[in-house]
């Protein structure tokens, strides 16, 4: 997302060479979703550039390639998985969690496949799983089955909260596009580990986005008081204001938990002058 056109010249200086864009994004937010890794595994040189542009405590939540999760459905995927793990090695501690997003057709009956897959993964990474099949939200037995599988390797369950988005019909092209693409699943706010990850989708209207995240401010503040270290990603359908919204969310949580570290100061979009 650090190359998002809507941010260039507004949140990020423009033009910027490719090897500087992430560094400027990291002045706004201290974590990023690695969604592009779902479509193609980057080269080690590219990943090394990401490491060079970020501090050791910057958080990458990187999605496993779709070859592994969707095409091979976690079976016979050793080769693409090995290539992915090798490619991201330069990130070191910045690889906060590897994100296993499963297709909507991945049902409770498939949980044993997930459990076997998780047990084969290297223990030097942490893992977080996102499921979209309705049964994982409606059937208590399916919930327990998945939570038990995740617990064996201390993996987290990522909730993707779209409840605020689907509360009323879309009113923009971006919202209409998201309306047919994003999953409709019930709200889940339970954390399984000390490093929960949340994905929240609001609306293009800022007031409605902020209203929809109120419960997450409460939940996140509670997690912090419990000693957990959550990562929260704030989205809107067009993502035009996402960095600003993420900082606003952080400020609201920090108002509840003052000991939370402030976010960094963004790199100025325009050079500073004396006048």
Q: What is the pLDDT of residues 39-53, one digit of tens each?
A: 999 999 999 999 999
Tokens of 153: 């390797």
Average pLDDT over residues 53-81: 98
- Token pair 């076997």: residue: 116
Average pLDDT over residues 92-96: 97
| pLDDT given for residue 271 in this prediction | 59
Residue 86, pLDDT above cutoff 60: yes
Report how far residue 4's alpha carbon sits from residue 238's, in angstroms, rounded to the nearest whole number.
Answer: 10
Residue 256, pLDDT above cutoff 80: yes
Rounded to the nearest integer, the mean pLDDT of the chain is 96
236 neighbors 209 (Cβ within 8 angstroms): yes
Lowest mean pLDDT among 10-19, 63-72, 100-109, 164-173: 10-19
| pLDDT given for residue 1 in this prediction | 80
Report how far residue 127's alpha carbon sits from residue 150's, in angstroms, rounded to the nearest whole number.
Answer: 9
Tell me the longest C-alpha to C-alpha distance in the chain. Answer: 66
- Token pair 């057709």: residue: 105
Tokens of 79: 């080769």
User: Is the peptide bond between 15 and the residue preceding it cis, with omega within 30 degrees of 0?
Assistant: yes
Average pLDDT over residues 180-199: 97
Report how far residue 50's alpha carbon sits from residue 34's, in angstroms, rounded to the nearest whole number.
Answer: 11
**Which residues lie across from 231 on neighbouring strands?**
197
Average pLDDT over residues 182-209: 97
Average pLDDT over residues 164-189: 97
First-to-last alpha carbon distance for the chain, in angstroms, is: 33
How would you list the strands of the sheet with 31-34, edge to edge? 31-34, 59-63, 95-101, 127-130, 156-157
Residue 274, pLDDT above cutoff 60: no
Q: pTM for the whole thing? A: 0.95
Q: Which residues contact 251 (CB under 8 A, 6 or more apart)?
A: none
pLDDT grade, residue 270 (50/70/90)? confident
Average pLDDT over residues 22-50: 97
107 neighbors 116 (Cβ within 8 angstroms): no
Residue 272, pLDDT above cutoff 70: no
Report how far residue 203's alpha carbon sits from residue 246's, in angstroms, rounded to the nearest whole number.
Answer: 14
E strand intervals along 69-215:
95-101, 127-130, 156-157, 160-161, 197-201
Model pLDDT for residues 141-156, shown as the tens digit of each residue = 999 999 999 999 999 9
pLDDT grade, residue 29 (50/70/90)? very high
pLDDT grade, residue 18 (50/70/90)? confident
């Amino acid at each position: 997302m650090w190359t998002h056109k809507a941010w260039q010249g507004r949140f990020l200086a423009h033009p910027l060479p490719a090897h500087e864009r992430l560094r400027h994004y990291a002045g706004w937010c201290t974590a990023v979703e690695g969604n592009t890794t779902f479509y193609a595994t980057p080269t080690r040189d590219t990943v090394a550039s990401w490491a060079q542009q970020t501090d050791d405590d910057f958080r990458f939540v990187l999605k496993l390639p779709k070859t592994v999760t969707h095409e091979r459905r976690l079976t016979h995927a050793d080769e693409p998985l090995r290539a992915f793990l090798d490619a991201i090695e330069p990130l070191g501690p910045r690889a906060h969690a590897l994100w296993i997003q499963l297709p909507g057709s991945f049902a409770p009956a498939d949980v044993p496949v997930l459990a076997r897959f998780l047990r084969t993964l290297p223990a030097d990474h942490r893992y977080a799983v996102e499921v979209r099949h309705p049964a994982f939200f409606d059937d208590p037995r399916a919930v327990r089955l998945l939570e038990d599988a995740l617990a064996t390797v201390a993996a987290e369950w990522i909730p993707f909260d779209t409840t605020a988005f689907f509360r009323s019909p879309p009113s923009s092209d971006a919202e209409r596009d998201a309306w047919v693409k994003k999953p409709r699943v019930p709200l889940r706010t339970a954390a399984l580990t000390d490093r929960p990850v949340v994905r929240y989708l609001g609306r293009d209207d800022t007031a409605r986005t902020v209203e929809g995240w109120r419960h997450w401010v409460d939940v996140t503040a509670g997690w912090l008081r419990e000693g957990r270290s959550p990562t929260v990603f704030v989205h809107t359908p067009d993502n035009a204001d996402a960095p600003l919204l993420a900082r606003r969310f952080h400020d609201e949580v920090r108002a509840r938990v003052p000991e939370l570290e402030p976010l960094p100061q963004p790199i100025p979009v325009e050079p500073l002058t004396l006048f």
